[in-house]
């Protein structure tokens, strides 16, 4: 994989995690998980102006987490799951690494006799 492609992948992942770091944007994504919604429908539950909600939608759109279709003056938003799947895969790789690393640390700290004793107690 080229250095440029890797940088683009990392930038896309950064954008997803940045978008997910805000509670309002996570709530918007939760609403979209039930199906497409009009911008006004998405804005309704929030105590903020429509332009403020639209700024959140812009962040989600730039991260690839939502797609907007415009029909005249009406915009309908759709959840895009591919970036979430990419983020989930990244988290899973990290979880597996840390789980393995912590297991190795426990083996080292506890020593071989403590580990054997634990296995016998689990039987």
pLDDT tens-digit readout, 91-108: 888 876 666 666 666 666
| 57 vs 108 pLDDT, higher one | 57
Residue 95 confidence (pLDDT): 76
Looking at the chain, list the stretches that DSSP marks H as alpha helix, in order from N- to C-terminal side: 3-20, 23-32, 39-43, 50-62, 82-122
pLDDT in tens, 62-78: 999 999 999 999 999 99
Helix (H) or strand (E) segment spanning residue 35: none
pLDDT score at 118 = 58
pLDDT at site 109: 76
Question: pLDDT band at residue 79, thresholds of 50, 70 and 90?
Answer: very high
Residue 52: alpha-carbon gap to chain centroid: 22
């Amino acid at each position: 994989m080229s250095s440029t492609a890797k940088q683009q992948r990392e930038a896309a992942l950064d954008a997803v995690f940045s978008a997910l770091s805000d509670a309002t944007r996570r709530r918007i994504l939760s609403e979209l998980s039930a199906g497409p919604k009009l911008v006004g429908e998405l804005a309704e539950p929030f105590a903020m102006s429509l332009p403020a909600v639209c700024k959140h939608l812009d962040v989600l759109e730039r991260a690839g987490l939502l797609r907007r279709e415009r029909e005249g003056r009406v915009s309908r938003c759709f959840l895009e799951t591919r970036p979430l799947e990419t983020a989930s895969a990244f988290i899973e790789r990290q979880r597996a690494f840390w789980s393995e690393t912590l297991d190795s640390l426990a083996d080292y700290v506890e020593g071989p006799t403590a580990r054997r004793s634990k296995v016998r107690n689990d039987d």
